[in-house]
A and B are shown apart, each in its own frame.
Chain A
Amino acid sequence: MIDISRVSKTYDGRAVVDDLSLEVPQAAFCVLLGPSGCGKSTTLRMINRLVDFDSGAIRVGGEDVLSMPPEMLRRRIGYVIQSTGLFPHWRVADNIATVPRLLGWPRERVEARVTELLALLRLDPKAYRNKFPHQLSGGEQQRVGVARALAANPDVLLMDEPFAAVDPITRDALQGEIARIHRETGKTILFVTHDIEEALRLATVIAILDKGKLAQLGTPLDIVENPKSDFVRDFVGAQGIGLKLLSVRKVAERMRAGENAEGEPIAEDATLAEALGQMTARHCDRLAVANDAGQVIGTIALADLVR
């Protein structure tokens, strides 16, 4: 869906992005991960041409981004930034309607879309559509920011450290929302963060950048289990490696099917870290496991976590 091919960008003689190639398949949740200054934000902003690249080519949905005026390109790509960038003089509904109005949608269609998106982001349309951004909490503002990015139903969503400025509890809720929206809509998402936990939780594929080059590309499990270089090993965090492994593996992988146990069951798509947390909190060494429908389908024991 997004095809970055041998792209470079130099600022004042210093290569910020250095001969970078990266292919993001359709419906992937690709996280660009790396320390500050590694070129991840620049890479993201080159895709919607907020930053011009010096050489190479970028294609979105098969089309060269240079083949159309930048405004037309940007209206087809969702864009979410850390500080939300909501327009303070526009109400929530007007903010969300930004791109549909630029595209000249008829009024009824815009209204209907705003209602639909507020509901998708779990904001009561009646209560929220006429508020101004300063009347919202940080988390609500970022929900509106995401709704605005999704407004014209773009195939691709670019998110530049969208949850870095909110408190941990709000961040956790927002991560849950974006994961759900990704599952429900099948958008291709390119997500920039420097937070390894966030990357492991959300990504279907992680691209680690170092000094403008691709250090490693792989699934979260791949990155944690088989770091290709010392840089990746250090960045992922050599010390907490065991706990990180627990947080990328699912309960379903280790469960003993057909057995049963006492107590509130844990979901089969929960991580092993969550299962360990439950056991510690409940002072037990065995949990029932339930499927999506809530039926108990097996158990998981403490020993299974470290197997």
Chain B
Amino acid sequence: MSAAAQTVPAGTAPVPRNLVLPVLVVATSIGAIGCGFVDLAPNRLASGQPMMLWDAAGIGFTATLSACGAMLLAIECAAPRRWLAYLAAAIAGFALVIVLAAAGHSATILATGAPPAARVSLGAGFWIVLGCAALALIDALQRAEAGAATQFVAAALAATGFIALVETGMFDALSLAREFAARRDVFAAALARHIVLVAAAVGPAVPIGVLLGLTALRRKRFEAPLFGVLNLLQTVPSIALFGLLIAPLSALAKAVPGLAALGIGGVGPAPAVIALVLYALLPVARNTLTGIGDVSPAAIDAARGMGMTPGQVFWQVEVRLALPVLIAGLRIVTVQAIGLAVVAALIGAGGLGTFVFDGIGQYATDLVLLGALPAILLALAADFLLRLLAAALSRRYAP
């Protein structure tokens, strides 16, 4: 595509080198024009009246966002330059902040004239514009070939910027913030419980999964039955698995005195953690099998021939060379466990899922979001950090 752009003779209309940004800008325009930016409802349970971006946030925000879109299109038509990609990233990041500010501003203005029970929720238009701005930022950073350090700094800047915006109170009038304010005391505990559930599942799943993968690798006849069982486990729906564990665990808690005192029973965190461990085994074992199995046999032969002990061969050669693949497995199970732990709230395990199921029960969408959004952000953060780690480990010697 870039080669084609370079052959365009001087004087003809500029041609975009890449369709990603134009598509995002067009999608943003359609989203902003066709869908309500925020919804105004008489109370938290009723469905709202959509409000357009320019009506809700005013002409200033609308014009700023349009200018950002126009600048991104202009950059896309210019000659490819690394600093231009960074400029595009900065503009996309700025647009991201402006979208958030526009939402906060709309809510503040709409709430001042409305009765106390009225709620301002985020509309489809907001989500479309926000999503497109985020994608444009990621695309620009990729185009700039930003290294792991730059990506980390960009993510840290975005996170601190968002927290700073929240601290100013500019979102306080939004329905989502009011749901949060009403549950401020339990939110931190639910978030902490969610992280503990995930850690308690991933922690044991990694050594068990690695051992299973190694067993399949060293004793070929175990491979087919082992992965047959793990694959089967993966196909059991999560709600069913949580439910299936209730009966045996309550029986166990009844039979063995003292277990109940430790918090082990048919409902609660124990069955949730067990189910999450079972789901995590397949990706860990699979990546161990392929990761260690793909280590060059010549390197292992040489390591043994040089006089490394079996332990040294394993840790210094096999594990070290398989590490990017092993970390990819860890990434998959961490993200998966963060998502599945939401469902675990159904059997009383607690965590962010509590808000989701309360919200569904009360028909309050913003309460569902209060549970879902932090879970999504948590998964994105875990995915991002483990991706950076794997990239940093493989970059230096990858052919």
> Residues of A with Cβ closer than 8 Å to B?
48, 50, 70-75, 79, 81-89, 98-99, 102, 132-134, 145, 148, 158
Q: Does B304 contact A (CB under 8 A)?
A: yes
* Chain B min CB distance to A62 (Å): 20
Listed by A's residue number, 11 A-B pairs whose Cβ atoms lie within 8 Å are: A74-B304, A74-B307, A79-B305, A85-B296, A85-B299, A85-B301, A86-B302, A87-B317, A88-B321, A145-B302, A148-B306
Q: Is the CB of B396 within 8 A of A89?
A: yes
Q: Which residue of A lies closest to B309 (CB)?
A: A71
How long is the Cα–Cα vector from A99 to B312 in the complex, in angstroms?
12
Q: Does B255 contact A (CB under 8 A)?
A: no
> What are the residues of chain A within 8 A of B397 when measuring CB–CB?
88-89, 132-134
* Chain A min CB distance to B271 (Å): 41
* Chain A min CB distance to B399 (Å): 4
**Contact A98 to B306, CB < 8 A, known contacts A88-B299, A89-B320:** yes
> What are the residues of chain B within 8 A of A158 when measuring CB–CB?
305
How long is the Cα–Cα vector from A212 to B326 in the complex, in angstroms?
42
Chain B count of residues within 8 A CB distance of the other chain: 21
* Chain B min CB distance to A70 (Å): 8
Interface mask (B189-232 → A, CB under 8 Å = 1, otherwise 0): 00000000000000000000000000000000000000000000
Q: Is the CB of A50 within 8 A of B307?
A: no
Q: Does B13 contact A (CB under 8 A)?
A: no
* Chain B min CB distance to A46 (Å): 12
Partner of B299, one of A73, A75, A86, A132: A86
> For window 264-310 of chain B, which residues contact chain A by CB distance below 8 Å?
296, 298-309
> What are the residues of chain A within 8 A of B305 when measuring CB–CB?
48, 50, 74, 79, 81, 85, 158
The prevalent SS among residues of B at the interface is helix
Partner of A102, one of B307, B321, B396: B307
> Residues of B with Cβ closer than 8 Å to A?
296, 298-309, 312, 317, 320-321, 396-399
* Chain A min CB distance to B28 (Å): 43
> What are the residues of chain B within 8 A of A86 when measuring CB–CB?
299, 302
Q: Which residue of A lies closest to B323 (CB)?
A: A89
Q: Which residue of B lies closest to A103 (CB)?
A: B307
> What are the residues of chain B within 8 A of A98 when measuring CB–CB?
303, 306, 308
Q: Is the CB of A102 within 8 A of B308?
A: yes
> What are the residues of chain B within 8 A of A73 when measuring CB–CB?
307
Among B296, B302, B306, B397, residue most surrounded by chain A Cβ atoms (within 10 Å): B306
How long is the Cα–Cα vector from A150 to B396 in the complex, in angstroms?
26
Q: Is the CB of B299 within 8 A of A87?
A: yes
Q: Is the CB of B399 within 8 A of A134?
A: yes
Among A73, A75, A85, A145, residue most surrounded by chain B Cβ atoms (within 10 Å): A85
* Chain A min CB distance to B76 (Å): 35
> What are the residues of chain A within 8 A of B317 when measuring CB–CB?
87
**Contact A99 to B306, CB < 8 A, known contacts A83-B298, A88-B299, A132-B396:** yes
How long is the Cα–Cα vector from A99 to B299 in the complex, in angstroms?
14
> What are the residues of chain A within 8 A of B299 when measuring CB–CB?
85-88
Q: Is the CB of A72 within 8 A of B298?
A: no
Instruction: A85-B299, A87-B302 are known; give 13 further A-B pairs, CB within 8 A.
Output: A50-B304, A75-B307, A79-B302, A79-B306, A81-B298, A81-B301, A87-B299, A87-B317, A87-B321, A88-B321, A88-B399, A98-B303, A148-B306
How long is the Cα–Cα vector from A239 to B60 in the complex, in angstroms?
92
Q: Which residue of A lies closest to B317 (CB)?
A: A87
> What are the residues of chain B within 8 A of A75 when measuring CB–CB?
306-307
* Chain A min CB distance to B393 (Å): 9
* Chain B min CB distance to A271 (Å): 33
How long is the Cα–Cα vector from A17 to B71 in the complex, in angstroms?
76
**Contact A87 to B309, CB < 8 A, known contacts A81-B298, A132-B397:** no
Q: Which residue of A lies closest to B316 (CB)?
A: A87
